[in-house]
Structure 1
């Protein structure tokens, strides 16, 4: 009996050794939560792709004390992305392994659909946001100067409510989520890319650079042009690269997180100056007309509301509205590396414009910003859409996820020769 058992063990070991690549660990990652509680946090690690086999034979596992848990992942460029699912308490470390040739892990893909001049980013059957690269026509009877492309609308809450608005009455130039600059000096002339009725400038989609889809992230990269109308001719004053990425929400589908990065580059040797002004550039938002002074709330990281937020600085701003479809909202964060961060905000008071909401992170509200030819200038924002509400503590946790993400340590070695 002992000999048979010994023989059986030897046969099993022989089979394992004869297949050295099955389940082979290619990289190990330790993720430290730091001083913050982490909830369904997307993390990433830089990996050496030259050391990996083809990506369709890779699988990621979280290594627990008694088992390994399959974890959806996505490789973009030289980075490996995945979701640290559930709640991770402060001071904890979670361990992951990237392995070769294990069964594929079923997952719901984050996808991009190209249809009717727009990119729709979604998860499964849920639509999350729409980027419009084709020209959106203004309402019938409104001046054609308000034609625009290169903006986000609709933005959907996780329950399907549309929470943005375009071409609102009296402000036909407001386009969901957009970021044209208002008071600028270009070639010695004042140029306004925001107020289209002045016929000094506009912003247009130029071309699609790429799209991303997969188990963890979906998004796109697009090129836009800021066009100045000078002496009845169109001149490209700036090019702008928009990168938008939406992240899988993990185990909580009551909120979605997405990032917007804007990289500006002067297209003219003269450069351009964004003059000090009360609004413009940064992140512009016009919310649904259904949110008014009677059923909505605005609060900033510093505790200011619609009554006193205008012209104050904020790391983030939260907007919540209630309709007959329920309560929903969004948080917009500006990154500490942005120009003049934490950036000043422009917020309409509750007693103006029918009580509707327009907000703008306005980088040049306090001081001018000169952009030089041949240099690149980046601004980054994170948006969280949610249903019901988020407490200040929850928003602060999300803020720390953005500016102080978990620390990831990668252990990757040359694979053994066969």
Structure 2
């Protein structure tokens, strides 16, 4: 896709009688925008002000970030490119469409009371009769499509330690000893929820920041925290009833004096997902930005990957587009894709962006690292052209900064 060219023209007008400020800006694209995407507009004087956003005569819903002095809204491809922001105006209210609701250890992200994404902050125990060593908190499940199909799976009998969407590191070294945070059954380590830093609701998005601790059970006489992780999740409205967007950002530091080494391994870190038990070798497919498929994608690198499978009613398809940010440690990013003869020939589906697949990563003490991913959850199909457009939007976000005259 050709680059999107963005020009912002902002005129700053002040009415002395009414003390109103009006910002007009023009969004000009080059070859045309194929997708709806979040856009931020930075204004210097938003804090504690009444703000309205218009596109022609249409009232545009937005979320207001008073800390960063930004408006966030969804630019839709069928809208005009003229927007107007009124400050100190009688506010034009838009409904708070998105919410995050706690319920018995689950935080559910909802769109108009329809649950879409869950985060487990309470301790989850495996089924009765299974060793409680597999208990865990701090993972995403379920991910539900707009039409109601659950795409994630937890505690499958073939891998009790699989938990929806999660990203523990597998082969790590602490003080010359190997510690595995992925394979819970080995009892070497785990990743657990600690606390929420933020839970937010809005007109176009909802999300949370959660602190997770990577706990080492092996190297000391008492458990120690090897990594402190801040997991930022944000669900975005895309202005259509068959898709939504989910941002997944993991930032982490180690308090260990000698740091921690992430060894090169086919699993670990990044973003991993165990898919629904409905999907297998005969009804699930993969397409990557480099043209690889379910048979060839494993171990290769990609900017994006589409995983698509049969819907629960057998009458259609749904899936997830995974996007890797170009600022990630490895980009295009290595992937783990299960072979079609796995799990006794069933060919169940597991996908992971794995930044240490081929090259180890030394994590230095008290230095912050970040990995950013985006998912588009969809019903129906998503084309490779749309996938590339979503990636371009993720890699080069549209951010408007006003110019005052």
What TM-score results when the alignment is normalised by the length of structure 2? 0.90
- Correspondence for 1:70: 59
Please state whether the residue corresponding to 1:355 is helix, strand or coil: coil
Q: Tell me if the contact between 2:275 and 2:350 (Cα under 8 Å) persists in the aligned partners.
A: yes
Please state whether the residue corresponding to 1:148 is helix, strand or coil: coil
**CA positional deviation for 1:335:** 0.5
- Correspondence for 1:400: 392
- Correspondence for 1:27: 23
Listed as ranges, the matches of 1:120-269 within 5 Å are: 120-230=108-218, 231-250=220-239, 252-269=240-257
TM-superposition CA deviations, 1:76-122 (whole Å, max 9, x none) = 2312101112436xxx9543323332352333521111111111001
Listed as ranges, the matches of 1:261-280 within 5 Å are: 261-280=249-268
TM-superposition CA deviations, 1:376-404 (whole Å, max 9, x none) = 00000000000011111111111111112
**CA positional deviation for 1:46:** 2.2
Q: Tell me if the contact between 1:130 and 1:153 (Cα under 8 Å) persists in the aligned partners.
A: yes
**CA positional deviation for 1:256:** 0.2
**CA positional deviation for 1:410:** 1.2
1:94–1:172 CA distance, 2 compared to 1 (3 A) = same
Q: Tell me if the contact between 2:251 and 2:371 (Cα under 8 Å) persists in the aligned partners.
A: yes
2:48 maps to which of 26, 39, 54 = 54
Q: Indicate the larger mover: 370-379 or 29-38.
A: 29-38
Please state whether the residue corresponding to 1:87 is helix, strand or coil: coil
- Correspondence for 1:80: 71
Please state whether the residue corresponding to 2:402 is helix, strand or coil: strand
Q: Tell me if the contact between 1:257 and 1:383 (Cα under 8 Å) persists in the aligned partners.
A: yes
TM-superposition CA deviations, 1:282-332 (whole Å, max 9, x none) = 001000000111111111111111111110001111111113424210011
1:182–1:328 CA distance, 2 compared to 1 (3 A) = same
Q: Tell me if the contact between 1:121 and 1:219 (Cα under 8 Å) persists in the aligned partners.
A: yes
Residue 379 of structure 2 corresponds to residue 411 of structure 1: no
Q: Tell me if the contact between 2:258 and 2:365 (Cα under 8 Å) persists in the aligned partners.
A: yes
- Correspondence for 1:11: none
Residue 298 of structure 2 corresponds to residue 302 of structure 1: no
Q: Indicate the larger mover: 70-79 or 109-118.
A: 70-79
Q: Indicate the larger mover: 316-325 or 367-376.
A: 316-325
* CA distance, structure 2, for counterparts of residue 189 and residue 202 of structure 1: 16
1:293–1:334 CA distance, 2 compared to 1 (3 A) = same
1:258–1:125 CA distance, 2 compared to 1 (3 A) = same
Uncovered stretches (5+) of structure 2, i.e. residues with no partner: 1-14
* CA distance, structure 1, for counterparts of residue 169 and residue 212 of structure 2: 13
Q: Tell me if the contact between 2:334 and 2:357 (Cα under 8 Å) persists in the aligned partners.
A: yes
- Correspondence for 2:364: 372
* CA distance, structure 1, for counterparts of residue 64 and residue 311 of structure 2: 40
**CA positional deviation for 1:35:** 4.5
Work out the number of aligned pairs and report it: 385
Residue 308 of structure 2 corresponds to residue 317 of structure 1: no
Q: Tell me if the contact between 1:181 and 1:193 (Cα under 8 Å) persists in the aligned partners.
A: yes
* CA distance, structure 2, for counterparts of residue 336 and residue 299 of structure 1: 19
* CA distance, structure 2, for counterparts of residue 18 and residue 30 of structure 1: 25
* CA distance, structure 1, for counterparts of residue 132 and residue 22 of structure 2: 57
What TM-score results when the alignment is normalised by the length of structure 1? 0.88
Largest Rg, 1 or 2: 1
* CA distance, structure 2, for counterparts of residue 42 and residue 97 of structure 1: 16
Q: C-alpha root-mean-square deviation of aligned residues, in Å?
A: 2.0
**CA positional deviation for 1:19:** 5.0
* CA distance, structure 1, for counterparts of residue 105 and residue 140 of structure 2: 12
Q: Tell me if the contact between 2:24 and 2:82 (Cα under 8 Å) persists in the aligned partners.
A: no
